[in-house]
Amino acid sequence: MGKGSKYVSRKPGPEGRIDWSGEENAIWRILIERQLEAIKGKACDEYIAGLGQLNLPRDRVPQLDEVSAVLQETTGWSLKAVPALISFDAFFEALANRQFPVATFIRRREELDYLQEPDIFHEIFGHCPLLTNPAFAHFTHTYGRLGYAADKEDRVFLARLYWMTVEFGLVNTPQGLRIYGGGILSSPGETDYALNSPLPERKPFDIVDVLRTPYRIDIMQPIYFVIDDIGRLYEIAGLDLMDLVRQAKALGLHPPKFDTGDKRAS
């Protein structure tokens, strides 16, 4: 979603499969091997369980139908190949239909550590393991249905909910604080920063607070919201989320905890 991309998604062939190049497969191998090491003791158990179910290949970019087969069996989801950037309408419609949109390109070597737009590694490694979890899958589906029906202004508020949960959420566990947000789990730098840095604020999850909290997409997050367990996502999905959006709008946004000179803030 956005105005333009320097990447071009690969188009699946007649059988729905993509002929990834040797270089693209090599980049996947670098990314997955280092991130599997980075998330040890940091990712939540539900994510690790989903990762085991997906059994992602180490030596090549996975095909979408391979991942879809596991998701279909566990929670009824599948993957949908999309261009590098898609509209909010297309994004919400896909989620509402239990289709997780995946841009079929992979970052270049010079952008291994950070890529502003989500590539296939971010989408598959970061998000798909938890789509095997019923609570996470239900929350994401509910979010998609609400977002598809919402107007432009309300979607901006809903985007903050997605950002602070699906992308950058933390969860309390008996073993301590763990990560469930895919934006963290696909980033080696933020995986360590989110749990170990003294800089960010880690706040108990309050949905109106979340909806009122601005964020920027191009920095380490200054605030992370913490849910008590993954099952809490069932409860959040059962709330009157659009009424809560109205409450947040009436109260107004919190002052941002970052430099607002960059336009890539929401």
Whole-angstrom distance, CA of residue 140 vs CA of residue 145: 9
- Determine the average pLDDT of the residues in 164-182: 97
Q: Which of 141, 186, 187, 190 is catalytic?
A: 186
Of 242, 235, 185, give the one whose Cα is nearest residue 205: 235
Residue 3 has pLDDT above 60, yes or no: no
Between β-strands 78-82 and 170-173, what pairing exists: parallel, antiparallel or unpaired?
A: unpaired
- Determine the average pLDDT of the residues in 140-167: 97
Is 138 among the residues known to form the active site? no
Q: Which of 9, 24, 122, 141 is catalytic?
A: 122
Q: What is the pLDDT of residues 206-262, one digit of tens each?
A: 999 999 999 999 999 999 999 999 999 999 999 999 999 999 999 999 999 888 765
7, 50 Cβ separation under 8 angstroms: no
Enter the tokens of residue 50.
Answer: 């989903």
Is 122 among the residues known to form the active site? yes
Q: What is the band of 2 on the pLDDT scale with cuts at 50, 70, 90?
A: very low
Q: Which of 24, 93, 117, 167 is catalytic?
A: 167
pLDDT score recorded for residue 261: 61
Q: Which residue has the higher pLDDT, 63 or 261?
A: 63
Residue 159 has pLDDT above 50, yes or no: yes
> The tokens 């607070």 sit on which residue?
209
Mean per-residue pLDDT of the chain: 94
Q: Which of 46, 78, 123, 127 is catalytic?
A: 127
Is 167 among the residues known to form the active site? yes
Q: What is the pLDDT of residues 92-128, one digit of tens each?
A: 999 999 999 999 999 999 998 888 889 999 999 999 9
pLDDT score recorded for residue 121: 97
pLDDT score recorded for residue 263: 52
pTM of the predicted model as reported, rounded to 2 decimal places:
0.94
Is 127 among the residues known to form the active site? yes
Of 190, 57, 61, 47, give the one whose Cα is nearest residue 115: 190
Give 41's DSSP letter: T
* Region of poorest pLDDT, from 1-15, 44-58, 235-249: 1-15
- Half-sphere CA count of 163, side-chain side, radius 13 A: 23
